[in-house]
């Protein structure tokens, strides 16, 4: 499914002529909270943690990744509230206009192999690792 935020057009077939836009690839880990747009996940049917609790969890995960205890991809497989967990949080390649604005802005600002600080979106709190 493709949605063009600039034109409002949605379609099932890949749009023509979009191959020239810059593409990046990221893995991410999502912790949802009770104010997330969908406060449920493959792990929990009803997420009750607060936004502040989600942030503290993400900070703890970031510390473990930065200290070299575990990779984001390994942690995402068991801890991410996103369905991409089964792929180690890999969202594949995407260009601008495909993700929530705060997520997209943070992802495009990263260098390859750089880990973000916590990023808030309508989905919850993310850690983003740019891999390409």
Annotated catalytic residue 123: yes
Annotated catalytic residue 87: no
Annotated catalytic residue 100: yes
- In this structure, are strands 119-120 and 10-11 parallel, antiparallel, or unpaired? unpaired
DSSP codes, 52-115: HHHHHHHHHHHHHHHTTSS-HHHHHHHH-SSGGGGGTTEEEEE-TTSS-HHHHHHHHHSPTTPB
| Catalytic entry in 41, 73, 82, 84 | 82
Annotated catalytic residue 126: yes
| Catalytic entry in 27, 28, 33, 116 | 28
The Cα 102–Cα 9 span in angstroms is 21
Asked whether the beta carbons of 76 and 85 are under 8 A apart, the reply is yes
| Catalytic entry in 36, 116, 121, 123 | 123
| Catalytic entry in 23, 87, 100, 102 | 100
User: Could you give the residue numbers annotated as active site?
Assistant: 28, 82, 100, 123, 126
């Amino acid at each position: 499914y493709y949605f063009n935020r600039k034109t409002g057009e949605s379609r099932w077939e890949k749009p023509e002529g979009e191959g020239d836009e810059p593409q990046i690839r990221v893995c991410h880990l999502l912790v949802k909270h009770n104010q997330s747009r969908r406060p449920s996940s493959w792990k929990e049917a009803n997420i009750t943690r607060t936004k502040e609790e989600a942030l503290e969890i993400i900070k703890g995960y970031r510390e473990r990744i930065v200290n070299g205890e575990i990779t984001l991809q390994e942690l995402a497989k068991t801890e991410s509230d996103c369905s991409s967990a089964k792929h180690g949080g890999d969202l594949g390649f995407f260009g601008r206009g495909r993700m929530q604005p705060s997520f997209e802005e943070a992802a495009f600002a990263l260098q390859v192999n750089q880990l973000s600080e916590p990023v808030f979106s309508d989905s919850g709190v993310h850690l983003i690792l740019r891999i390409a």
